Structure 1
Amino acid sequence: MNNKDEGIAFRFKRNDTVGTADAESDDQYLSSCFVSTGDLDTLRDSTDPKRIIVGRTGSGKSALIRRLREVEDNVIELPPQNLSLSYISNSDILKFFTSAGVNLDLFYQLLWKHVLAVELLKYKYKINSEEQKRSFLSKLFESKKDKSKEDGIRYLSDWGEKFWDETEYRVKELTTKVESDLKASIGGTLGPVHLDASGSQKLTEEQKQEVIQRGRKVVNEIQIKALADVIRLLSEDMFNDPQQKYFITIDGLDEQWVEDELRYSLIRALIETVRSFQKIKSVKVVISLRVDLLNRVINATKNSGFQEEKYSSLYLKLRWTRQQIWDLLDKRIEQLVRKRYTSRPVKLLELFPRQIDRLGFLDYLLERTFYRPRDAILFVNGCLERAEDRSSITTSIISEAEGEYSRKRFIALQEEWGATYPELTGYAKILEEQPISFKLGAISAQTLEQIYYSTISAFTETDPILMAANDYFLAGKGTLHSVLTKLFLVLYEVGLVGIKPDSTTTTFWSFHLNEGPSVGSIKPTSIIYIHSSFWRVLGTKLPTKKG
């Protein structure tokens, strides 16, 4: 049944949509069409360890955080862009010590713990003046006889001189204090050396070891112990009512709020801080991370002892089922139609064809997404854009919309993974005009060589695919299979292809968040499947339809 069967007078209008690509501007649909996947309930449970939302772009991370702010009473929003962390990035003194080899991880943890602790106190006790702060601390001193808690209170008093000010002030206050201590630790012992990154390069090996030793001493003396006392104070005496929950949300970590190397260190410290704040049972610090960013943080901080398995229990990995995507689209179509036509629920399949190429429309759509709500919304929007003054969507409209959708998804993929794989567009050249599926061994040395000289040879010198191809073509090292395996594992990771290692295993797709195929499991006989989102943009050779 469709709307024509019942004589419905509904017609699509220009600019009709079922929502926007980003949660921040999806006011019309996000709240009223929210689909419960169980993830929101997990986040709202302050005792549940899952508090780091992990997912690919468009999987609903920001929407989940926004919905949390709507349904909970005590939510503190803390955008990283508002913390003035660029102040750290611009600090010549910190650059000098970092470049010399001093690990500042403890300082970064201090920074986050201090900011989060003060945000909680400020919010709960409405401290907005010097007098209120003094009164608050005085009452705490009078009521607490525990020495460690007195140390925690004293810490707040000493470090939080103006902690009712904007958060960015406290970041600068803390950084200035540590800068001063670091600078004082070396005094004039180095002679006329500029305290910046370039200055550290001019140090002798002996001077560098002295800087590391002195800088490490300053960092180790940072009041982490006192901050642990603060967290204990918050847990046992201030935020100890399980019926009154408090949340701090941090979104937007994938944006460029500081330069990358520092950003990775700060995110690693934030993850450690989120873990330590679990001790406060009625407080939950919720952050969101894109999968590719989390991978870059792990890779960039391995030398600092980051062990991912210690944090895996904190991860809330977003995944959507077929039924959940269907429910989401049904709700949004229903709201679009109800706004100007009828109160009767109108579902997706009343406006779209039930089948395309012998495949149910929803399955057809989902095969062209990564099972992410954003992709599904954008696919439907692309169809609506071409349906002005029509009462339903035809297969020809869907075909036309799919071509533009494929092109935009390819661009979005490059934007999502560009920081990790700057040459991704070049990698994809190997897939152009290939069949839907093929054996890895079907890629000949001649095909790879042609792409190597026309594309790969122009990559940056540190590109892993270029280095593997150089070894094979120029140095005679390695094998054709080893180069192809390295290349196609990257294409698998970003979602361009699925890999079926052998006849007894399933086809792996990275967006299903499984472990994926191992390097050793990939053989020349392994089957490569190009994701249908990119068939049109890559010129994929489709099988001939049988009459």
Structure 2
Amino acid sequence: MNPKYKLKDGIGAVSAEHDLYLIEAFIDNGYLEKIKDPKTPQFILLGRTGAGKSAIIKYLENKIDSKRFKKIEIEYLCLQYLKDNITLRTLKDRKKNIESFYKYLWRHIFILEIVQFFSEDVNNTNSFYKFFNIQNSKNKNKAINQASQYFQKYSDCVFKNTEENIKNAVTEIEKKVLEEAQLSANISYKPEVKTDLKTSNNSVIKQKSESEFKDTDYVIDRYQISELDGVIRSLIKEFSDDQKEYYIIIDNLDKNWTYDDKDLNEIIKYLLNAIKDINTKIRDLNIKIIVSVRENIFNSVLQTTRDNEPQIEKWNDFILTITWKKQELIQLINKRLTIFKHQYQKSSPDLNDILPTEDNGKDNTDNKAIDYILNRTFQRPRDVISFFNNLVKLIDSEKFERISWEKVKEISKYFEQEIIESVIDEWKYNFPYLRYSLDLIKGLKYKFKISEINQQSINDLFNKNTRFINDELTQIYLDSQTTAIKKILECWMIVEFIEIEDNKNYIKNSPLFKKLPEDNNGNTNYIIHKCLHNTYNIKMKF
């Protein structure tokens, strides 16, 4: 490590993209091996902000040959373009099944991305034909024949970017829809990459009666889907290699994302379904498509599209949820501290050298300094790195002195405010009322029952802060105060501001199952997270 880096400057950036020490101090707590194995079904890397999703992706990218690693930025998937496309919107509005379109589209797009792995030395169409032995396709089996036909049609697309291929595929489908609507004889169709809602084609599409539109299952017939399957089978036959692994990564799914946009969330759901399907087909190529997604976004995609998929629990087999244990976070900090061993004559410091050794003098879970700190985080690397970045500023590199309990607690008070704000920001689209709902928690005991929430605080929340409480929650409150308070408690539980005491049916860190238990007698105890204790005057005595 470059000696110019000093411990007092911090132990790393909170974002993986800017963390100088990520590769050197990377901690693999088992998730890397699981997510990178093409044979395992998990492809969704799920976690809260700062849980380490981007760190895993960055580490994988660093360790894999760049020719076998491809990251697709979310902008190039054209989600907004697909949402706004007038043909797709018209088909959807008229209750046509557009799922088959997206099944075809994403399979087609990912096949083109996959082919690029095996055509790295191919730079023109003629050599591309030779590369796949297309001139001899008549002597091949059915799968190879289908692949040959496909490559003849789309060979030039292999050398185009993802965005262009998506828009070209949509244009192709638009043309077929127009033809099926028997418009081609009357309209001079001009394929357009950009959808203009005022064009004559789009105007006619909107005016046609439902009977003039074929279902997309008809336009995208089964032959085309089976053709793509044939392409995959031919690739497996020609290029299967157990010694090489390939990865396509989709990251930053939260970019320009809107919580309550059901149409956009449906497109994301179609994308995830397509990846789930295609990963099972390409595993013999040792290829895996991985999606990194924040927990709140995945939660919203499932919630807003629930009508289309009632059994959302089936996603469990495909999710890898990142969580951290106490000892893993201690290991993470100690490994980062070893980077600065050049500053010390004997050995690098660890937590035992930095934190106070004496007990806190309290008979509770905060007795040890490291417990006191971790109990005020959400046990995410970002939280811990942020806290220790503030802590090590107090360390004199020339004259090393241990941090006192007084300083630990002083930093904790500042840090608690920071972490509360980060959680509110993380979930602001899902729960716009989160900040103001926390007024209900003021002055409660750290372990409370729903009946102990102050009635005046409830009245003030819904009467004084109406502009901050969304219409849905307000309507629930007008219908039933109890139901509204339970919805707020459920919100707190999802963001982990509270947890349920001794509830075997409560599955922590899973966006699929965070529901309040049936509690007809009101006997359930809720535990308030310690990051809230100082700010909201939470009482420790029960």
TM-score range, shorter chain: 0.7 to 0.9
Q: Which of 54, 58, 63 in structure 1 is aligned with 2:50?
A: 58
- Helix, strand or coil at the partner of 2:419: helix
| Counterpart in the other structure of 2:157 | 162
In structure 2, the partner of 1:278 is 280
Cα shift at 1:30: 0.8
Change (3 A) 1:154 1:360: same
Superposition deviation, residue 41 in structure 1: 1.7
Q: Which amino acid aligns with 2:140?
A: K
- From 65, 76, 80, give the equivalent of 2:70: 76
Alignment of 1:351-366 (within 5 A): 351-354=354-357, 355-356=359-360, 358=362, 359-366=367-374
Q: Which residue of 1 aligns with 2:16?
A: 23
1:361 maps to amino acid: A
Equivalent in the alignment of 2:265: 264
Q: Which runs of 5+ in 2 are unaligned?
A: 188-196
Written as runs of structure 1 = structure 2, the 5 A alignment for 1:321-340 is 321-335=325-339, 337-340=340-343
Equivalent in 30, 40, 59 of residue 48 of structure 1:
40
In structure 2, C-alpha distance between the alignment counterparts of 1:23 and 1:447, rounded to whole Å: 40
Contact 2:104 2:220 in 1 (8 A): no
2:435: which partner in 1? 425
Given residue 248 of structure 1, which amino acid in structure 2 is its aligned partner? I
Corresponding residue for residue 87 of structure 2: 93
3-state secondary structure, aligned to 1:483: helix
- How many Å separate the matches in 2 of 1:409 and 1:458? 21
User: Of residues 95, 98, 107 in structure 2, which corresponds to 1:113?
Assistant: 107
TM-score (norm 2): 0.85
Gaps of 5+ in 1: 1-9, 473-479
> Which whole-Å CA distance do the structure 2 matches of 1:155 and 1:306 have between them?
36
Moved more, 448-457 or 15-24: 448-457
> Partner of 1:46: helix, strand, or coil?
coil
CA contact (8 A) 1:14 1:388 kept: no
> How many angstroms does 1:37 deviate by?
0.7
Secondary structure in structure 2 of the residue aligned to 1:101: coil
Does the 8 A contact of 1:496 with 1:530 survive in 2? Answer: yes
Q: Give the superposition deviation at 1:508.
A: 5.3
| Superposition deviation, residue 431 in structure 1 | 1.4
How does the TM-score come out when normalised to structure 1?
0.84
Please give the per-residue CA displacement for 1:265-286, whole angstroms capped at 9, x wherever unaligned: 3322222222222222211111
Matched, 1:241 2:241: yes
Closer, same or farther in 2 for the Cα pair 1:18/1:243, shift >3 Å?
A: same
**Partner Cα distance (1:34, 1:14) in 2:** 18
- C-alpha deviation, 1:187, in angstroms: 4.3
User: Counterparts of 1:247 and 1:391 in 2: how far apart (Å)?
Assistant: 47
CA separation of 1:343 and 1:151: change in aligned 2, threshold 3 A: farther
1:400 aligns with 2:410: yes
**CA deviation string 1:480-539 (max 9, x = no partner):** 543322221121111111122xxx646958447794564414742222221112223334
Aligned: 1:290 with 2:291: no
- How many pairs does the alignment contain? 516
Separation in structure 2 between the aligned mates of residue 338 and residue 402 of structure 1, nearest angstrom:
26
State the partner residue of 1:384: 392
- Return closer, same or farther for 1:216/1:268 CA change in 2, 3 Å cut-off: same
State the SS of the aligned residue for 1:247.
strand
Change (3 A) 1:130 1:517: closer
Q: 1:320 to 1:164 in 2, by over 3 A?
A: same
Secondary structure of the structure 2 residue equivalent to 1:378 = helix
What amino acid does structure 1 have at the position aligned with 2:53? K
Instruction: State the shift of 1:197 in Å.
Output: 13
Over 3 Å counting, the alpha-carbon distance change for 1:531 and 1:55 in structure 2 is same
- Residues 154 and 536 (structure 1), Cα distance of their counterparts in 2 relative to 1, 3 Å cut: farther
* Corresponding position: 1:314 with 2:321: no
8 Å contact kept, 1:96–1:197: no
Structure 1 pair 134–210 and aligned structure 2 pair: CA distance change class (3 A): same
Q: How big is each residue's C-alpha offset from its partner over 1:107-162, in whole Å with a ceiling of 9 and x where there is no partner?
A: 22322222221222112221332232232243474496211331133123213433
Aligned to 1:303: 307
Partner of residue 150, structure 1: 145
Does the aligned pair in 2 maintain the 1:58–1:374 contact within 8 Å? Answer: yes
Deviation, structure 1 residue 452: 1.8
> Contact (CA 8 Å) 1:410, 1:537: kept in 2 or not?
no
- Give the SS at the match of 1:311: helix
Q: Whole-Å Cα distance in 1 between the matches of residues 519 and 352 of structure 2?
A: 41
Equivalent of residue 176 in structure 1, options 162, 171, 189: 171
Whether the aligned pair in 2 keeps the contact of 1:137 and 1:153 (CA below 8 Å) is: yes
* SS of 1:32 mapped into structure 2: coil
1:36 to 28, 32, 52: 28
Percent identity of equivalent pairs: 23
CA change 1:150–1:202 in 2 (3 A) is closer
Q: Is the 8 A contact 1:85 1:171 kept in 2?
A: no
- State the alpha-carbon separation in 2 of the partners of residues 448 and 506 from structure 1: 29
Q: Residues 437 and 529 of structure 1 are in contact (CA less than 8 Å); yes or no, is this contact kept in structure 2?
A: yes
Deviation at 1:15, TM superposition (A): 6.0
Distance 1:223 1:536, change over 3 A: farther
Distance 1:163 1:316 in 2: 31
Distance in 1 between residues matched to 2:466 and 2:231, nearest whole Å:
54
